Chain A
């Protein structure tokens, strides 16, 4: 039985039970606020038969529900304990837990919210340490260094992945075999399978937030990036996956691959926009959407490419002026790069408790990653200048060009080398996301014979198929 069949066979909860659920959630959250972690754990494990399923439903619902924006530190601690006991129950009960998960959405939201709370907790903790103003909270955080610890978060995600044997199942699907043969006792159940699957996406995100971009991409080894993938069933998951994969590629300087990822999802969203409107995740998606347009603008500025027409006009519409300034390069472009990067990058976190004694020591991880990225931007800042001049000539004397640019010849030699180097990139062809082949990623190439620059250009022939198809669709 394929995944589709089972997904369709399972009845979705109707609205009425949603209301019930809501009541359960609220009820449960009130309880949880007044209980500490240990008794929570006892309670869930000591529960018997019938009511257990209902209670678990409530816990799962609570786990998928965002905390209030102003949630207190106590609530955050309690929420952590809630997750711990829930995942402990799912993973460490005798045999698999018997529970039907109503939808893919639910499983996604549990994992998504779990990671979101981890991320916001880490950021909050750093903020408290840096400002040094709230001694009470600082003390509480100091005493609980392991709450929302990176090891426990990773432990949950890896355990869910292993229990469900989801990687084995996905590998089987890739080979064209029956995944159920590899699913095992746990993985054959939708609850485990879905939690396991979305935990992979969750890991991608956590690794990226911690600045481990290659491991982030490696995590997706068994997932095929296409519309048939399971993540594509949940819009938010689909979106998140492409955002983090694209971003990780960008940080590995694989701009062509990053652009491919961002374009893919942005085209998809632009086609399904009307359908998505009104959904409760619409705002979040709209924000990520804008962030990805910003990232694609950065990538195209660093690595000139022809974009899909829809994407190109949307980039110009949203970031017209910034896009133009980045593409022109030079020192004026620096603040634009930085501003867009900061607005569009993930909210990086530091996995370990901050140094409460030395507030100044706690540099915001976003500043750290921005500085690293900006170093590369600075190194390549004059590539557009070089390209725009060389486009005009087939041969050019280096000293003469240096005169035009009003720089020393030695400086120009460096720029030429840098531009040459950056026009070589690794691009994915097949296999895992980290695989790839080096390609010449620029129309413009050149070689130097002493101080004489020989310029060559790879011209693309006219691209007619796309034009033809679009017009055909319009009239036919």
Chain B
């Protein structure tokens, strides 16, 4: 497991900035912005570096590029389920109100395109994090704005589809092809067949897709016994020496 502050695809110069005080230097904003563009293009994701960029925006609001922020958020959607998206939201200005509950907050989205975009992406995040995949796709396809917001992220739909498949694979040993079609937004049995066999390596068996056994979908019962080590009795033994009976 790679630690949160590391990323295998991170170039050395980004790593150097992140580990030094230059991460606060407004001049590095453009470096991070270029890095976001690169991540969008080559389908990688570096949450820790993107958070550093959002922090620069937090400290220097005049530098904020709405499009870069929405690209960072759209990228964070492609790694669900994970805290990445909410960690990004936490660094955005509070007036974006990603989860509007009051009519006032909803009104704010009409006055600012940026606020509207953040709220729309947050809605997508909620649908993915709560595993309402069919609704995620119908929402995504319901408004052209969504297409604009995710346009810069190369293979956005593909990346989300793969994440959904991975999560399904962890919970299911077999699943009806109809359900899976909806969850992956693959219209037609052929598209589904192709995706599950080529990308996932699963088998289609009539109207059922079979997922090979993996560590997660095994669900085996076991009894965990307590680990007993000598060191747990250290105090007792020491007391025994210190206070001879």
Query: Chain A: residues with CB nearer than 8 A to chain B?
Result: 150-151, 154, 158, 210-215, 217-218, 251-253, 350-352, 360-365, 367-369, 371-376, 378-379, 410, 413-418, 420-422, 424, 426, 431-432, 434-438, 445-451, 454-465, 469, 472-473, 476
Contacts and interface: CB of A to CB of B under 8 A. Distances in A.
B12 interface: no
Interface string B94-131: 11011101001000000000000000001001100111
B83 interface: yes
Interface in B121-143: 122, 125-126, 129-134
A211 B171 contact: no
B94 A364 contact: yes
A461 B81 CA distance: 31
A151 B226 CA distance: 50
B99 to A, nearest CB: 5
A462 B220 CA distance: 20
A445 B171 CA distance: 9
B167 A350 contact: no
Interface stretch (B27-35, B55-63, B184-192, B196-204): B55-63
B37 to A, nearest CB: 22
B168 to A, nearest CB: 8
B226 A212 contact: no
B72 to A, nearest CB: 14
A462 B59 contact: no
Contact of A450 (B208, B217, B220, B233): B208
Given A416-B171, A464-B226, A472 B126 contact: no
A108 to B, nearest CB: 24
Contact of A214 (B5, B125, B219, B233): B5
B55 A456 contact: no
Best-surrounded residue of B97, B129, B133 (most CB of chain A within 10 A): B129
A454 B219 contact: yes
B241 to A, nearest CB: 13
Given A375-B122, A476-B239, 4 more contacts: A368-B97, A413-B131, A431-B3, A458-B224
B44 interface: no
A158 B217 CA distance: 47
Given A363-B95, A450-B208, A376 B219 contact: no
Contact of B126 (A375, A421, A450, A461): A375
Contacts of B174: 448-450
Contacts of A373: 86
Contacts of B47: 214
B175 A426 contact: no
Contacts of A251: 83, 86-87, 90
B225 A469 contact: no
Contact of B236 (A218, A371, A424, A472): A472
Contacts of B224: 458-461
A450 B176 contact: yes
A224 B168 CA distance: 39
A424 B81 CA distance: 10
Given A372-B99, A454-B219, A465-B232, A365 B94 contact: yes
Given A212-B51, A458-B223, A465-B232, A372 B89 contact: yes
Contacts of B87: 213-214, 251-252
A420 B216 CA distance: 9
A32 B227 CA distance: 61
A368 B233 CA distance: 47
Nearest to B207: A450
A367 B3 contact: no
Contacts of B3: 431-432, 434-436
Interface string B202-237: 000000100000001111111111101000110110
A365 B97 CA distance: 10
B86 to A, nearest CB: 5
A211 B90 CA distance: 5
A120 to B, nearest CB: 18
B5 A350 contact: no
Nearest to B6: A434
Nearest to A361: B95
Contacts of A459: 221-224
A417 B4 contact: no
B4 A252 contact: yes
A469 B132 contact: no
Interface in B53-97: 55, 58-59, 61, 81, 83, 86-87, 89-91, 93-95, 97
Contacts of B129: 375-376, 379, 418
Nearest to B208: A450
Contacts of A154: 24
B179 A413 contact: yes
Contacts of A472: 236
A462 to B, nearest CB: 7
Contact of B175 (A158, A210, A374, A450): A450
28 contacts: A158-B21, A214-B4, A214-B51, A215-B52, A215-B55, A251-B83, A350-B94, A352-B58, A360-B104, A363-B97, A372-B86, A375-B126, A417-B168, A417-B171, A420-B167, A426-B1, A434-B4, A436-B1, A447-B173, A449-B174, A450-B174, A457-B221, A459-B222, A459-B224, A465-B228, A469-B232, A469-B236, A472-B236
B146 interface: no
Contacts of B218: 447
Contacts of B156: none
Contacts of A426: 1, 4
Nearest to B3: A435
Given A151-B59, A455-B219, A461-B225, A371 B90 contact: no
Contacts of B86: 251, 372-373, 375-376
A313 B21 CA distance: 45
CB-CB nearest 7 A-B residue pairs: A368-B94, A211-B90, A461-B225, A417-B131, A363-B94, A379-B130, A447-B219
Given A368-B94, A456-B220, A447 B51 contact: no
Contacts of A350: 93-94
B219 A465 contact: no
B195 interface: no
A115 B170 CA distance: 45
A362 B172 CA distance: 46
Nearest to B214: A447
Contacts of B223: 458-461
A449 B219 CA distance: 12
